[in-house]
Chains A and B, each alone.
Chain A
Amino acid sequence: MDMEKEEVLKRLEKVPEGFGFFIAPEGLFTVDELKVAIKKSSKEGEEIIKIESHYYDFINGKR
């Protein structure tokens, strides 16, 4: 993974509860990459994102 992508993933960890994010281009990250990034700050380690098109919304309000 290049530095730019890694940097974006690190920033995504800091997006708090109640917010989602839009990423273009589509497919910049794989679903697994995003899940790993989000799980790092998840209290319960569960899958807490749903992904629709470019929008990645945190569900359950848990991070």
Chain B
Amino acid sequence: MEKDKVIVVVRPNNRSTRYFYYWAKKPIAIAKEKGIKVVDLKVERATSKNIEKAMTLNPCMVFFCGCNDTNKLVGFNNEILIDDDSNGLFSNGTVEVLCVRDTKSNKCAYVGRNEPFVFIHSLSTYNPLDDEVAHVFLDPLADMAVDVLNGLTVGEAFNKSKKIQEEEIRKYSDSEYSFIVPYIFQNMNSLVLLGNEDVKIF
């Protein structure tokens, strides 16, 4: 059990973040399995006030689910949670959706996107988690959080995610879903790792 570890998940569930909201469930479940304390700032709890409060718990991971822009994240009632003017976690004009910190050395790593993000989704599924096409786009990032929770360094998890996306490109290139390949390629290239890639939480 990792009683001293805390992760913070920020997941507003509005029209634009609905898919991302659901994709946070897997990392949350894995963290709980490991006995890590999860501060789940979902829906109306996704406010800057609650984020500030959660940060005082010295979290080893912060996972922001859903970006509205390449330089800002919004929460409940479209409150701007993080933007270019914010100190600390975000800088360099990119949305960092996954932030990991070694709580002893205080070294940090951030993974986010520095270019527009496009994903394709099915219109025939009601529950986003039943959307097989969306899984191709959204699993790599959620799985990266899971891999870090399972003990990989951020760099290892990042490289693993890129490899999985390369495999997806090969897998779908000659299939009926070949129309998604350019988007996977674009999204893979827009994923960036900043900070110390050797950071891990265990």
Contacts and interface: CB of A to CB of B under 8 A. Distances in A.
Interface string A1-44: 00010001001001110111111111010000000000000000
A26 B69 contact: yes
B189 to A, nearest CB: 12
B50 interface: no
Sort chain A's interface into a size bin: 20 to 34
B122 interface: yes
A28 B115 CA distance: 11
Sort chain B's interface into a size bin: 20 to 34
A8 B185 CA distance: 12
B116 A28 contact: yes
Contacts of A18: 122-124
13 contacts: A18-B122, A19-B123, A20-B120, A21-B120, A24-B117, A25-B68, A25-B69, A26-B68, A26-B69, A54-B16, A55-B15, A55-B121, A57-B123
